[in-house]
Structure 1
Amino acid sequence: MRCLMVFDNLNDIVFMKCNTKFCIHIRKIGISQDLIKPTENEKEDCDKIDPDLILQIFSPMVTSQRIMNCHFSNRYSSMQCQNGTNIVFDEYLGHLFIYIGDKEVSWQQKVLSVSILFIKRICGSDVSLLKYSRRRRFLVSKLLDVWLKRSNKEQCVLIEAVEQLTVSAELSTAALTAAKTAAEKMKTKSAFSRVHILIMVRQKFLTLYSSRNATDLCAGDTLFLALLAEAIQTVDSEPKDKSDLDVIIVEKDNSLQLENDVPLPRNKINSLLILLGQHGLKLNAVHLSYITDGVPLFIIHEIGNDVFNSSVIDSLTSFCTIQEIQIRGNVDREALKIAYDTVDSSMKKIIDLFKKKNAPFAPTRSVLAIITTLATRWEPLKKKYLDYFKNNDSSSLIAIESSNMNIVCSLKDLHHHCMLNESLIDSYTKEAVSEASAMVAVMLRDYTSFFEVKAMNNFTMRSRSTLNINKYLEEFPGLVHFIYVDRMSHRMIAPGLEFASQETLELTKKKVWSMIEFSRQHLRDGHFIVLWKDNTFTYSYFLWFEDQSGSDIQSPFDCKL
C-alpha cells in the first residue's frame, strides 16, 4: 500500500498518486465510518476514489500538522499506525506533502524528498501546476515510477552518481564530434548560443558537449534527464478521457513494470521546458530524441532572460516565506525583513524590465496586462510593509494578507505565461533541433549495434582482458564486486551485475543493495571506515578526502572507526 498526497495552504488536494490497495483500504474506512455507502460492484470501484472522501479522512491530520508547524514550530516528521503503516511529512512552498506506505520511515522520507525534487524541476515555483497541467502532473507521476523502479535495479540511481560508459577512444571521439557538430548547428540555425548536447545509453553517460557560455550541467541534472527520457515515453500514452482537473492518479498493480512500454519513434522529438541546476535553478528547453533504442539524445538550451526568470522564482519563494512567518503567533521581524527585501528587489527588476520598454522578450497583451496589474498591486502593498517596519504594528499584517495572495496570483500568471509555456519554443528552434538530431543520428549510425549491447551492460568482472581493473583484482583476490564513487564530480565506476544463473544474480544484487544501505547507516553515525562479513561475503566501506591535486587530506568531520 502506498500513496503520495500534496495539499495546498487551503487544504485542497493538488496532487495524489496511490495504488489500488490504498483505494480499497480508504473505501473500507469510509464505509466503516458511514462516509460512503458500499456499491454493488465494490471490487470494480477499487481503481477510483472520491476526493471528498480523502478530504474528510485526512483533513484533521493536515490541520493538526499546520497548527503544530505555525504555532509551535514543531511539525510532525512521521507517524506510525497500529497496523504498521508509516506516514511521513514534508513541506515545500506552503504545500504539505504526505507519503503513506508500509516501508521504513527513512525510505519513505527519501521518496518524499525525491518527489519534491521532481516537482521543483517540472513545476518550478508554482506547485499548483500539478493541479492545472495534465501533462506535468502525469510527468511527475511517471518520473516517480521510473525512479522507484530504477533505484531497485540500477546501481547509479541507487548511489545517485553518474556511471561513465566504458568505450573505445574511437567511439568517444566520434560521439564528442557529433555532439559538437549538433551544438554548432543549434547556434547557427537558432537564436540560442548556450547549448548542451548530451548523449546517454540508458542511465549511463556517453558524452556531453557544452558551448562556452552555457551554465554547467551538474550530475543531478544528468541523472534527472536519464529518468526523464524513460518517463516521457509513457506520458503521451495516458488515457485522454481524464479531466485536466482530475488530480488523483490511481496506478495499477503492474504500473512499475515499464519494460513493455513502446519507445518513442526515432524521428519524434519531445520538447519540454524544465528547470535545471544545482544551486540556482535555470529555465531550460529540453529536446529529446533517440539515436537508437535505449540511446537518448538531449539537446538542451537555456531560454528566456535570466534576470526575469530568477526574479519571478525568487519573488514566489520569498512570498511563501513571508506567509509562513506572518501566520505564526510571534512574528520574526528580522526574518520578515530579509524576505521582504528579496521580494522588493525582485519586483523592481521585473517591473523595470518592462517599464523601460526593454523587455527580455516581445510581450503579448496578456503579459503586459499582468505586469500592469502586478505594478498596481505592489506599490500599495510595499507602502504597507514599510509602515509596518516603521511602526511595528502587528495588527497591520492582517490587512496585508489578502494583498499578498493577489500578488502571488499575478506572479503565478507570469510564471505560466513567460516561463513554463511550451509555445515559447518557436518553429525556427524546432527546425534547428530536428536538423541537429538527424545529423547526430547519421554520424553515429555505425555504432548502433554496439550501443544496444552496452545498454544492457557496461562491463562485468569478467571483462578483465579489455579493461584496466587488474589492479583491483590483484590487490583484492576473490573480489566479487566493487563500487567507486568520486563525489567531486559524482561519477562512479562499477561492474554490472551479470551472472549466468538468475538465482545467483538475485542473491548478489540483494547483497549489494543491503551493503549500500548498511554503509549509509554507519556513515550517518560518522563512521568512515567499516568492515563486516556474513556467511557468504566480506564487505568493506571506505570514505576519504583529497585536495585538488589528489593528495590525501584530513577529514573535515569527526571520524569514527
Structure 2
Amino acid sequence: FGDWSAFRCHVRVGFCFCVKLIVKLGTQCPSSVNTLFVCLILIPNLHSIVCWNKSTQLFPRDPFVLPERLKMRCILVFDHLNDIIFSKCDHKFVSHVKKLGSFQGLDTNGIENECEDMDLNFVIQLFSPIVTSQRIMSSQFGNSYTSIQCQDGLNIVFDEYLGFLFVHLGFREIPWLKRVLGVCMSIMQHLCGPDISVLKTNRPRSTLVGRLLDTWSALVSEDQGFLLEAIEQLTVNPELNSVAIKALSDATDRMKSMLDQPKSHALLFVGNKFLALYSSKSVRELSAGDLLFLSLMSVWCQKEASNLPRPGSRSESSCSEFYSPDASPKSLQENGPLVDGSGSASDLILLSVDDKPASSPNVIHISPIAEGVTLILLYQTVYESLSVGLIDTFNMLHALNVISMSNTEIDGLKKGLENLEPASKKVFEAVKKLKSSDLSPKIEGSVKLLHSKWEVLKKQWSDHKKGAANSTSILSCCQNMNNTYKDLLRLTVLNRSSIPGSQASAHVIRQKVTASLVHFQSFLQAKALRNFTLGSREYLNINKYLEGFPGLVHFIYVDRVNHRIIAPSYDFEMAKPEGNLTKNQVWGMVDLSRTHLQEGHLAMMWRDQSFCYAYYLWFEDLSGTPLQPKVSVPQAMKMLPLPGVISIDFYKRLIEICFPRMTHSKIRCFELYCIHLGIATSSCVLEHSHRLASTICEVSGIPPNPLDIL
C-alpha cells in the first residue's frame, strides 16, 4: 500500500473483472444487475449491503461507533478515468476520511489537522466502486442511480455532464442535495463551458467555483429571491430609473466606441437586487439564469472586495468552513487575488444562447461604484457561433463514447457519426467567417489538424462498413478528435488574453457611471438593505395594501416568464410579537410548496398554530385570460427537473409540456405565496389572493394578472 499509483491500478483491474462478470450475468437477468453489481463492488470499501434495486438504499456498517451522527458534506467531480478534478468538502468529511484510512491500516499522519491537504488518492479509492457502478449502470443498461440513501441519514446524489460525474453527499434531504449539485454544475458551465477538466489544473478557476458556491449558499439561506431563483428588482422613483438607464446607455455606447464591441450589456446591481439593464440593439437578451449568475458574481465581488487587506493591516489565516484538497485550491493568496485592489474583477464567462446554456462567450468587468452598488459591463466576443458548434460537437462525441460502452454499439455508431458530421461542419463554417485578425497560427493549425482527422475518420468508417476495421479504431479516432476540438476551444472561446487590454476602458466607463449616480448613492445603499415593507409608511401604495388586506403578514409574487419577484423585505429579527413570522416558516413554506408542486398540485392552502399559508401557480395568455393545462399535470411533473431556473428553467419546460400545441411565447406563468394570520378564514385568503394578483401593479408597475384558481 506504499505505492498508491500501483494500488489504484490494481483496484481498477479488479473492477474490470467484476464489471465483465456482471455484464455477462446481466445478459441473462438484467433486472438483477443493479443489486448484484453493487453487492460485489461496494461492500469491500464502503462496508455496505444493498437491499433494493434502482432506488438503492445502503445500510453502512461503519466501524466507528460515533457518539453523534457525523453530519459531513462533500461535492466531488470525477472525469472519465474516475480521477477527481474538483472537490469541495467540510472538515467533518476530512476527519471521517482520515478515520476510514486509519481503520484500513493506511498512514494518515500526513493529515495533522483539518486544515491540511487531504490525500485524494484515498478518496478516489473509497468512491471508485460506486462511481464505476454508476457508470456501468448508465452506459450498459441506461438505468443509472439518481440517489442513494443510507440508514444513518446520509444521502448521495448523482448527475452527469459530458462524461463528468458529479457527486454530492450530505445529511440534507435529497431534493436539496440535487439543487446544490445543479447550481454547482451551472457555475462550472458558466466559467468553463464544456471544458470542465480545466478545474484540475487551473487553480484560480477552481477557486472561483468554490467561492461562488459559498456565496450562493449564503444567499439562498438569507434572500427570498435566491431561494426562489428569481430576480428581485428595486422599487425606485421614475427619476432615478431614468438616470440609471441613461448612464447605462452611455456605457454601452462607450464600449462600442472605445473597445469596438457593438454587442454589449450594462447592468446595475444594488446588493443582489437588480436595478437597471441596458442592452445594445444587436445583442441577444439575457436569460433569467444568466441574470441570477451575474447577480451571484456581483455579490461575490462585493464580499471579496470587503475582505481585501487594507494598507498596514495584517491578514490572519484560519480554517474556513469548507476545505478544498489539492484538486481545488485552498486560498486566494496562493495564486494572487481574483479581485484587484480597487474591488474590481474581470473575467470571461459563457452565457446562454436560446435554449443552450453557457454557449456565448462574454468578457465581464465588475466594478463597485459605491458601497453595495455594482456596475457590470458585458460584451460578446466574436466566437459565439464557433462556441455553439463546438458544444454541439462535444455532445455528439460524448454520445459516441456512450454508444461504445453499450450493447447497441453497431446500430448506434452509424447514427452517432451522422449526427457528428453536421456539428463539425458548423465549427468549420464558424471558423471561415472569422476575420483574419481573429485567427492565430495556432488556431489555423488546429483547424487543419481537424480536417485531416476527419478524413481519417471517414476512411475508418468506410473500412468498418466493408468489415476491414473495427469500432475500436473509430472510437480511438474520435477521442483524438475530441482532444483537438478541446485545443481549439481553449485557443478561441475560452481565450482570456484580450481581457487586460479592455480593463483601462472599463475603468473609464465606471468613472462616468459613478459620476452620473453620485447624488443617489446614499439612497441606493439604503435600498440594498430593504426594498419595501408591508409596514412602510413612506409609500402611499404600500399603505393601500395595509388597508386593503387586513391580516396579510407576507406575500411573494413571481412572474415566471421573466422570473421577476415582488416581495416585501421582512426583518425577521425585528418582527413584532403579534406577527412573529420566522425565516424558517417562510423557507419551510417554499419547500412544502415545491414538494406538492412536483406532485402536480398547482394550488394549496394549509395552517399551523400561528399562520395560514397559501400557494398558487397559474397560466394565462397575453390578454390575461386564464388557461388550463391540456395534459395531466401530475404526469407532466414526472418529466420535469426540480423547480428552479439556475440549472434548468423548470417553468419554461412546464409550459411546453402542459400546452404542447400552443405558441409558448404567448403563455405566461405566475406564482403567488401568501401568509395570513391564523385567524383569517379560507374565503378571506382566497379573496385577498385574487385581489393581490390583480393589483400588484400598484407596487411594481407590472400589468395586473388575474388569478383564477377556482
- Scaled by the length of structure 1, what TM-score is found? 0.89
1:300 aligned to which of 368, 378, 385: 378
Q: Structure 1 residue 506: deviation in Å? A: 8.7
CA contact (8 A) 1:163 1:492 kept: yes
Higher alpha-carbon deviation: 493-502 or 230-239: 230-239
2:439 aligned to which of 363, 367, 378: 363
Say if 2:222 is the partner of 1:153.
Answer: yes
Q: Structure 1 residue 426: deviation in Å? A: 6.0
2:605 aligned to which of 531, 543, 550: 531
After superposition, the Cα gap between the structure-2 partners of 1:42 and 1:337, relative to the gap in structure 1 and judged at 3 Å, is closer
Whole-angstrom distance in 2 between the partners of 1:478 and 1:275: 46
1:455 aligned to which of 518, 528, 537: 528
Amino acid at match of 1:6: V
2:238 aligned to which of 169, 178, 181: 169
Q: Structure 1 residue 263: deviation in Å? A: 11
Q: Structure 1 residue 338: deviation in Å? A: 4.9
Matched position secondary structure for 2:87: strand
Q: Structure 1 residue 542: deviation in Å? A: 1.3
Q: Deviations over 1:139-179 (max 9, x none)?
A: 11111111111111000001111111011111111100100
Q: Deviations over 1:74-131 (max 9, x none)?
A: 1111112332211111111101111011101111011111111111111101110111
Matched position secondary structure for 2:582: helix
Say if 2:95 is the partner of 1:24.
Answer: yes
1:522 aligned to which of 596, 599, 612: 596
Whole-angstrom distance in 2 between the partners of 1:46 and 1:94: 31
Matched position secondary structure for 1:482: strand
Q: Structure 1 residue 43: deviation in Å? A: 5.3
Whole-angstrom distance in 2 between the partners of 1:74 and 1:272: 39
Q: Structure 1 residue 183: deviation in Å? A: 0.8
Query: What does residue 560 of structure 2 align with?
Result: 487
1:384 aligned to which of 460, 463, 466: 460
Matched position secondary structure for 2:276: strand
Matched position secondary structure for 1:423: coil
- Scaled by the length of structure 2, what TM-score is found? 0.71
Unaligned 5+ runs, structure 1: 252-261
Query: What does residue 291 of structure 2 align with?
Result: 222
Query: What does residue 347 of structure 2 align with?
Result: 272
Provide the aligned length of Structure 1 versus Structure 2.
540
Amino acid at match of 2:427: I
Whole-angstrom distance in 1 between the partners of 2:344 and 2:260: 19
Whole-angstrom distance in 1 between the partners of 2:580 and 2:457: 62
Matched position secondary structure for 1:181: helix
Query: What does residue 421 of structure 2 align with?
Result: 344
Query: What does residue 494 of structure 2 align with?
Result: 420
Matched position secondary structure for 2:533: coil
Q: Deviations over 1:453-477 (max 9, x none)?
A: 1111111111254052455444531
Query: What does residue 78 of structure 2 align with?
Result: 7
Q: How does 1:18-57 map to 2 (within 5 A)?
A: 18-34=89-105, 36-39=106-109, 44-45=113-114, 47-57=116-126
CA contact (8 A) 1:174 1:444 kept: yes
Q: Deviations over 1:307-356 (max 9, x none)?
A: 2222122212221121112211223735x5554334322323434555x6
Whole-angstrom distance in 1 between the partners of 2:470 and 2:351: 39
Q: How does 1:93-242 map to 2 (within 5 A)?
A: 93-232=162-301, 234=304
Higher alpha-carbon deviation: 337-346 or 4-13: 337-346
After superposition, the Cα gap between the structure-2 partners of 1:387 and 1:37, relative to the gap in structure 1 and judged at 3 Å, is same
CA contact (8 A) 1:20 1:250 kept: no
After superposition, the Cα gap between the structure-2 partners of 1:495 and 1:557, relative to the gap in structure 1 and judged at 3 Å, is farther
Higher alpha-carbon deviation: 316-325 or 174-183: 316-325
Q: Deviations over 1:32-59 (max 9, x none)?
A: 011x2243x8652554210111111111
Query: What does residue 309 of structure 1 align with?
Result: 387
Q: Deviations over 1:15-70 (max 9, x none)?
A: 11111110000110111011x2243x865255421011111111111111111111
Q: Structure 1 residue 266: deviation in Å? A: 8.6
Q: Structure 1 residue 386: deviation in Å? A: 5.0
Whole-angstrom distance in 2 between the partners of 1:506 and 1:397: 67
Say if 2:352 is the partner of 1:282.
Answer: no
Amino acid at match of 1:364: S
Query: What does residue 52 of structure 2 align with?
Result: none
Higher alpha-carbon deviation: 184-193 or 358-367: 358-367
Unaligned 5+ runs, structure 2: 1-71, 309-314, 318-323, 332-336, 635-708
CA contact (8 A) 2:572 2:583 kept: no
After superposition, the Cα gap between the structure-2 partners of 1:450 and 1:353, relative to the gap in structure 1 and judged at 3 Å, is closer
Structure of greater relative contact order (alpha carbons < 8 Å, 6+ residues apart): 1
Higher alpha-carbon deviation: 360-369 or 214-223: 360-369
Q: Structure 1 residue 265: deviation in Å? A: 7.0
Matched position secondary structure for 1:143: helix
Q: Deviations over 1:506-529 (max 9, x none)?
A: 952111000111111111111111
Say if 2:642 is the partner of 1:555.
Answer: no
- Please tell me whether Structure 1 or Structure 2 has the larger radius of gyration of its CA atoms: 2
Amino acid at match of 2:461: Y
Amino acid at match of 2:260: A
RMSD of the alignment, in Å?
Answer: 2.8
Whole-angstrom distance in 2 between the partners of 1:328 and 1:75: 13
CA contact (8 A) 1:304 1:361 kept: no
After superposition, the Cα gap between the structure-2 partners of 1:467 and 1:411, relative to the gap in structure 1 and judged at 3 Å, is farther
Aligned-pair identity (%): 38
CA contact (8 A) 1:24 1:46 kept: no
Whole-angstrom distance in 2 between the partners of 1:464 and 1:110: 38
